[in-house]
Amino acid sequence: MTATGDWPVGRTIKAIRGLTKEEAAVHFWNEGEWQYSDGVVIELDDGSRLVPSQDWEGNKCGALMGAIGTEGYNVMPSEWPGAFG
């Protein structure tokens, strides 16, 4: 993967959803469902996608976490079975 400067600054989030098997293959996470089943995709207004990774080497997809003030949150697509919200 290459760095792209200040991308995605200024982009707008259009959707947050689970990672598909086909998208997982782009990142070489096609050895089994364990690599991508909990992946998160953030779709932007220009058609690009952000996918959190476990590490800089891209060994597995990762969780997306954030905070509002002092309250921590996990970002989970609502279509996931068992997703809490």
**pLDDT over 80 at 9, yes or no:** yes
Percentage with pLDDT > 90 across the chain: 21
User: What pLDDT does 34 receive?
Assistant: 79
User: What pLDDT does 85 receive?
Assistant: 43
**pLDDT over 70 at 41, yes or no:** yes
| Alpha carbon 51 to chain centroid, angstroms | 3
Q: What is the DSSP letter of 76?
A: -
19: exposed, middle or buried (Cβ count in 10 Å: 0-12, 13-18, 19+): buried
Six token digits for residue 23 = 């998208």
Burial 24-45 (b: 16+ CB within 10 A, else e): beebebeeeeebbeebbbbbbe
At 42-51, the pLDDT tens digits run: 999 999 999 9
- Assess contact for 46 and 11: CB atoms under 8 A: yes
